[in-house]
Amino acid sequence: MTSTKSGFTSSLWNFFCSLKLTIFLLIGLASASIIGTIIPQNAPPDQYLKMYGESTIRLFSVLNFFDMYHSVWFMLLLYFLSLNLVACSLKRLPRDWKLFTEPDQAMDEQMEKSLTLVRHCRMPGSSVKLRDTLEAFLRREFAAPVVTEDNGRYYLFAQKNLFSRLGVYVVHFSIIIVFIGAMVGSFFGYRAYVGIEEGGETSVAYRRTPSTGHTESPEQIAASTIKLGFTVRCDEFSISYYDNGMPKEYKSLLTITDNGKTVIDKRPIIVNSPLTYKGITFYQSSYNRVPTFHFTVRDRKSGAQTKITAKQGERVSIPGGSFLQVIEYTDEIRQFFPQLSGPAAKLALIPPSGEPQSLLLLKDYPEIDLQRGGELVFTYDSTDYTWSTGLQVVKDPGVWIVWLGCALMVGGIFIAFFMSHRRIWVRVESGHISVGGAANKNQPAFEQFFDRLTEKLKAM
């Protein structure tokens, strides 16, 4: 019973320790990642309908190919990679740890056979004197040795860059740290967006991208709303251009008020220079030109006129208890109706009860609404524009963990690749000296060093 169980456990352990699995996972991740670069990710459904047949779409959505990098199977690959890493490290660590806690300090005959670099020579003088000479020699030429004695033999052992053995662990551990940072970010952070008009302010942002285009239900909007805990005002937005017409700079001046106090006053933010307050960072991301419409309402009977100002989508009340809402507008109607020209607005006239009515107003044709025959006659007088800045609003408490992981990874790779643990052993035995050496990296360079060292020793 127990033996089959431990047999299973140990084969599972071996499976996760195996480097075949590592190579399989690395190549597998590389190949799988290609899919998501060919199939558009998180695109609107109609785009997929244009690209693929229905059965292909069904297959792809079952396989999660439309949001591949967040799919369960892709996460599972990353999860296996982490398990593989941890298992490999745990398996190797005891062996490497011995190099720190109980290094082989005495090179006896048996150990000598296992070394590829060994030289012998004879030197005059007592063992004690030779021991002291060699100790000074090693200290000068290489590193301070540890001396041990056994049966009239003296053993010297010196090493350099022992810590470089840990480079591999640092690299592997750093990958796990990056994963942890990414998870912290996705659990405790958010990526949101908010548009603020010049002069306007907000204390919320919305978890969505500006380009979705779909109008969302109030519940959806409420669910995606994030309270910032302070207020951001956009004092000004501006664009500057190079002489050749390319955009040079998008700039918003932001003011933050927290608890009624102005904590940040008219700070300019531009692309590549965001603003962070209380762990929330605001990035200049897009901009918009927001129209304000001016209409006149005239009572057909009395001739009384009222001026009305409205933003797109805003419901404004008009005389008589109805409401007016701008649904759509265009700067140039000609692209839709070649025989007409100038700005146009499509409005909904919403009576207190009953069906809303749709109106089309043209700025250059003021009489157009007369023909409708309604009690109220509308004219479209003018439009002015203000800027609205689009800010990416990001909170990512995991990002520092990610950077820490990256720094460790770079440091670890340099240690693991370019530093080698070099060891030199010396045995002194009645005028006979044996020198052995080993390095775990860059063998040829160490061999040269070792040859020079032993030449110097013989010349003494």
Partner 1 sequence: MLSSDLFNAATVLYFVSMLLFFVFLASRGKTVGLSGSIAAWCGFIVQTAAIGLRWKESYDLGHGHAPLTNLYESVVFFAWTIILIFVLIDLKYKYRVIGVFVLPFAVFAMAWAQLGMKMRSGIEPLLPALQSNWLLYHVVTCFLGYAAFAVACGVSIMYLIKTRCEVGNGKAKAGGIMALFPPTKVLDELNYKAIMIGFPLLTLGIITGAAWADYAWGSYWSWDPKETWSLIVWFIYAAFLHARITRGWVGKRAAVLSVIGFVATIFCYLGVNLLLSGLHSYGAG
- Which residues here bind partner 1, judged by CB under 8 A? 19-20, 22-23, 26-27, 29-30, 33-34, 36-38, 40-43, 47, 51, 69, 182, 191, 211, 242, 244, 246-250, 270-272, 274, 281, 283-285, 392, 394, 396, 399, 402-403, 406, 409-410, 413-414, 417
As a 3-state breakdown, the chain gives helix, strand, coil percent values, each rounded to 5, of 40, 35, 25
Contacts 24+ apart (CB under 8 A), 234-237: 234/196, 234/197, 234/198, 234/199, 234/200, 234/201, 234/388, 234/389, 235/198, 235/199, 235/266, 236/198, 236/266, 236/387, 237/198, 237/287, 237/387, 237/388, 237/389
We find the least distance from the C-beta atom of residue 185 to partner 1, in angstroms, to be 9
**Residue 159 interacting entry, from partner 1, ligand HEM, none, C-beta within 5 to 8 Å by type:** none
| E strand intervals along 174-303 | 190-197, 201-206, 225-241, 247-258, 261-270, 275-277, 280-299
In the bound state with ligand HEM, the residue whose beta carbon lies nearer, of 49 and 93, is 93
Q: Does the protein bind ligand HEM through residue 171 (CB under 6 A)?
A: yes
- Interface with ligand HEM (CB under 6 A), residue total 15
Distance CA 342, CA 211 (A): 27
CA of 272: how far to CAs of 250, 261, 428, in Å? 10, 27, 65
**Residue 191 interacting entry, from partner 1, ligand HEM, none, C-beta within 5 to 8 Å by type:** partner 1
CA of 56: how far to CAs of 32, 35, 64, 258, in Å? 18, 14, 12, 52
Footprint of ligand HEM on residues 73-132 (CB under 6 A)? 81, 84-85, 88, 92
- Give the number of other CB atoms < 10 A from CB of residue 95: 9
Which residue matches tokens 């208890």?
A: 321
In the bound state with partner 1, the residue whose beta carbon lies nearer, of 348 and 413, is 413
In the bound state with partner 1, the residue whose beta carbon lies nearer, of 67 and 149, is 67
**Residue 348 interacting entry, from ligand HEM, partner 1, none, C-beta within 5 to 8 Å by type:** none
We find the least distance from the C-beta atom of residue 240 to partner 1, in angstroms, to be 10
Q: Does the protein bind ligand HEM through residue 24 (CB under 6 A)?
A: no
DSSP output for 125-143:
S-HHHHHHHHHHHHHHHT-
In the bound state with partner 1, the residue whose beta carbon lies nearer, of 191 and 432, is 191
In the bound state with ligand HEM, the residue whose beta carbon lies nearer, of 36 and 412, is 412
Distance CA 8, CA 62 (A): 32
We find the least distance from the C-beta atom of residue 185 to ligand HEM, in angstroms, to be 20
The partner residues of 270 in beta bridges, in order of sequence, read 251, 273
End-to-end CA distance of the chain: 67
**Residue 84 interacting entry, from partner 1, ligand HEM, none, C-beta within 5 to 8 Å by type:** ligand HEM
In the bound state with partner 1, the residue whose beta carbon lies nearer, of 38 and 222, is 38
We find the least distance from the C-beta atom of residue 405 to ligand HEM, in angstroms, to be 11
Nearest to 348 by CA among 312, 375, 382: 312
**Residue 47 interacting entry, from ligand HEM, partner 1, none, C-beta within 5 to 8 Å by type:** partner 1
Alpha helices of 296-437 — where are they, by DSSP H?
399-418
We find the least distance from the C-beta atom of residue 88 to ligand HEM, in angstroms, to be 4
**Residue 114 interacting entry, from partner 1, ligand HEM, none, C-beta within 5 to 8 Å by type:** none
Binding mask 406-425 for ligand HEM (x = CB under 6 A): -------x--xx--------
* Contact region with ligand HEM (CB under 6 A), list: 18-26, 185-193, 257-265, 418-426: 18-26
Which residue matches tokens 């507008």?
A: 329
Q: Are 426 and 107 in contact (CB under 8 A)?
A: yes
Q: Does the protein bind ligand HEM through residue 25 (CB under 6 A)?
A: yes
Contact residue for ligand HEM among 68, 138, 168, 226 (CB under 6 A): 168
We find the least distance from the C-beta atom of residue 429 to partner 1, in angstroms, to be 37
We find the least distance from the C-beta atom of residue 282 to partner 1, in angstroms, to be 9
Q: Are 83 and 16 in contact (CB under 8 A)?
A: yes
Q: Pseudo-torsion of CA 192, 196, 201, 203, nearest 10°? A: -10
Q: Are 162 and 421 in contact (CB under 8 A)?
A: yes
Contact residue for ligand HEM among 39, 175, 318, 408 (CB under 6 A): 175
In the bound state with ligand HEM, the residue whose beta carbon lies nearer, of 368 and 415, is 415
Site residues, ligand HEM (CB under 6 A): 19, 22, 25, 81, 84-85, 88, 92, 168, 171-172, 175, 413, 416-417
